[in-house]
Amino acid sequence: MMPKAVLLDRDGVINFDSPDYILAPDQWLPVPGSLAAIARLHAAGIAVAIVSNQSGLGRGMMDQHAFNAIHGKMMLAIEQAGGFISHVAYCPHGPDDHCHCRKPKPGMVLDSLAALGLSDKPENVLFIGDSIRDVEAASAAHVPAMLVQSGYGDSEKILQQSRLLQPDIACCADLAAAVNMILGDQC
């Protein structure tokens, strides 16, 4: 069944990630094919939302102005490619802040479902991420997940851990391949 909405992690899915964080607009570089993939979802009538931990804010590694500049660059690039983002949820907290929103907790996923009018239909949504935290957050919100291998983690280990939560989870090379699979092609 075609999802009504797709939730995307940002770093490692839409853009290249870094263990040193994305802290300035010039560090934000899209994964090849990701912007066109978002445009394809939009053209197919599938709402797209972003769900992203951004602890660089809470850790004081960047300020809100820098974050907004990164976000602005991303949104402009998505729009120029023909895509549209219906909702953005980000958690500025660090891992020790004990918030309800930071993945692997489901707060941002639940907020996104509500914003998209799909709180009562989580099975009609797909979360695409590159980490076990993404799959844990999706699972806690009863949302099916899919993995991409374009992040910087050990993708095989992440897949094995994820299969403990969602045994049938699909894994594709990147967002472009994942969207091919969603729209009926193979990854």
Segment (H or E) for 75: helix 64-80
Q: Which residues contact 180 (CB under 8 A, 6 or more apart)?
A: 172, 186, 187
CA distance 140 to 104: 8
Catalytic residue among 11, 17, 134, 174: 11
Is 9 part of the annotated catalytic residue set?
Answer: yes
CA distance 40 to 10: 17
Contact 169, 146 (CB under 8 A): yes
CA angle 63/88/72 to nearest 5° reads 50
Catalytic residue among 9, 17, 111, 174: 9
For residue 167, give Cα distances in angstroms to 34, 115, 161: 26, 28, 10
Would you state the structure tokens that stand for residue 80, as one six-digit string? 């120029």
CA distance 23 to 125: 30
Question: Active-site residue numbers?
Answer: 9, 11
